[in-house]
Amino acid sequence: MTTAAPLRSQLPGAFSVLLRIAETVMLADGWRRRLIACGAGAGGALAMAPVDVFPAMIVPMTIAVWLLDGSADAGLRRAASLFSAFGIGWWWGFGYFLASLWWLGAAFLVEADKFAWLLPLGVIGLPAFLAFFPALGFALARLIWSPGPGRILALAAGLSLSEWLRGHAFSGFPWNAFGMALGGNLVTAQFASVVGLYGLTVLTIAICAAPATLIDRHIRAAFSTRWFVRTPVGLALLVFMGLAIFGAIRLAPGTTPLVKGISLRIMQPNLAQDAKFRPENGPAILAHYLSLSDRSTGPAHTGLADVSVLIWPESAFPFILSRTPQALAQIAAVLSPNSVLVTGAAREEDLPADKDNPKPHTVFFNAVQVVDKSGVILESYDKVHLVPFGEYLPFSTFLNKLGLRQFVHMPGGFEAGSKHVILNVPGLPPVVPLICYEAIFPGDVMPSVPGERPGLLLNLTNDGWFGNTAGPYQHFAQARLRTIEEGLPLVRAANSGISAIVDPYGRVLSELSLGREGLLDGGLPQRLGPPIFAHLPFISPFLVWLIAISCSFIFRRQV
């Protein structure tokens, strides 16, 4: 083991207590060990939005180290030790995802008569599946484990690699990556401009796991001298202070200037996702949107006359806008001569027979569309990254036989768009459209086609499925981090909130809170030059990971 009982009597009281806790964790077995892991992982959810308490991640990461110490010191053969690490990592991850993603259950209760029976699948099944990623991370860390301070970096390397895999495998789901513990704070989040979310993940794990070494033998000597800074805890504090100083310097210039001549209006209808959102209610819904959009918000904004771009959220209509000319005419009637509407809308496309479909057929896309004063749809963008089970049903041939279907009422679900594109909106610089959770993927929001640098990220979403839970706050926090990574402002329209205008430093200039109906008027912040991460979205976080794993091997050789 990395500790010994005689050490307890030689340390101050607090360290003696810490050592006793560590020994309890390392020596626990069976269900007691699993419950410790599950409870520790669950505590990490407090580091995510809306709570955003960064120190809450210290307990799960510290206990993760001690759990792996127990796997390493149990006298097991190598294969058995790896299996033990994998198993305890699964319980740790299950606790984390269960506590941080419980709000997904709200979507199953929107149409409870159809989906309530599937509630355990979303609330328990998804966390159980996602837990295999930290389980893999624990096993990878165990492969390069050593009894000294290097094991902190081994955990950072193994667990951050599994987080990267979680963000890419099976179409990817990087929701609440551990790096959001740093990314949720505006000051420490600034380093995402250099290393992105996955680089912050490596740093978060290493910083928060460092207190696990306080039980090690050499710490007593370090605390009796002036060389505490050379211990893992001292180094972690220095790194954290460095992140804070970097962020403070980056934020020092103050308010970002606005682009001249642009007046934005975001409409947040706070429309319930229930039986009322049906085609027969389409005219009433559209009338409400138009009435709300043309309201006065103060002396400077008396209606749509001075608005250059009106923005509505994702999936705004219970009908196909492009096939409803009367709706387009009504929209055109309220727009001013120099204004346009950017809105979420389902798009329909008729396709001829092909080898997969012997008859002509219709497909549907979740789209962003631009409507001008003439009622003409100028541009469309089709969502590329669809939500499994929400917008399409994986393995639909099999699952349909079990009575399953996607949440969105589209025959066969949505089709995915072919690629990310730039959206050309009159009156705006080039726009990067992001529908719903497309905004949570670091390094994968920008079009791959080279050309003029975009002027903003436009995120249209509908979090009304999740009510007043933690989900919409987490979604907004992740979308906000993209502004820092890319150096672009964010304009966000959400059906039920949180709608906002965010500058390229991640500062929220104005917002409409969750569960509120209303309008948000504002200007467009100017973009920044592309930060390091925007130039090197894969290389910069990889270098942080490479440093962590290289240093873990160096420490391993010194033991």
Q: Which residues of the chain have pLDDT under 50?
A: 1-9, 395-396, 399, 402, 406-407, 410-412
Q: What is the pLDDT of residue 218?
A: 60
Q: Are both 234 and 338 inside the same structural domain?
A: no
Q: Are both 470 and 393 inside the same structural domain?
A: yes
Burial of 542 (0-12, 13-18, 19+ CB in 10 A): middle
In a domain, 368, yes or no: yes
How far, CA to CA in Å, does 16 sit from each of 12, 67, 93, 215?
Answer: 6, 19, 28, 8
Asked whether the beta carbons of 214 and 559 are under 8 A apart, the reply is no
In a domain, 16, yes or no: no
* CA diameter of the chain: 83
Q: Are both 172 and 268 inside the same structural domain?
A: no
Q: Are both 162 and 292 inside the same structural domain?
A: no
Q: Are both 273 and 422 inside the same structural domain?
A: yes
Q: What is the pLDDT of residue 414?
A: 73
Q: What is the pLDDT of residue 16?
A: 79
Q: Are both 194 and 282 inside the same structural domain?
A: no
Q: Are both 440 and 459 inside the same structural domain?
A: yes
Q: Are both 446 and 544 inside the same structural domain?
A: no
Q: Can you give the CATH number for the domain in which 308 is found? A: 3.60.110.10
In a domain, 309, yes or no: yes
Measured from the Cβ of residue 443, the count of other Cβ atoms closer than 10 Å reads: 19
Query: Could you tell me which of 301, 311, 308 has the C-alpha nearest to residue 337?
Result: 308
In a domain, 398, yes or no: yes
Strands 508-512 and 518-522, sheet pairing: unpaired
Q: Are both 395 and 482 inside the same structural domain?
A: yes
Q: What is the pLDDT of residue 539?
A: 96
Q: What is the pLDDT of residue 3?
A: 46
Q: Are both 78 and 126 inside the same structural domain?
A: yes
Q: Are both 287 and 339 inside the same structural domain?
A: yes
User: Which of the residues are catalytic?
Assistant: 314, 383, 436
Query: Could you tell me which of 382, 356, 499 has the C-alpha nearest to residue 435?
Result: 382
Query: Could you tell me which of 104, 189, 65 has the C-alpha nearest to residue 478?
Result: 189
In a domain, 353, yes or no: yes
Q: What is the pLDDT of residue 73?
A: 61
Q: How many domains does the chain have?
A: 2
In a domain, 298, yes or no: yes
In a domain, 26, yes or no: no
Q: What is the pLDDT of residue 9?
A: 47
Asked whether the beta carbons of 300 and 307 are under 8 A apart, the reply is no
- Look up the domain containing 354 and give its range: 264-525
Report the C-alpha dihedral over residues 237, 238, 240, 243, rounded to 10 degrees: 170
Q: Are both 320 and 440 inside the same structural domain?
A: yes
Measured from the Cβ of residue 331, the count of other Cβ atoms closer than 10 Å reads: 23
In a domain, 489, yes or no: yes
Cis bond before residue 498 (omega within 30° of 0): yes
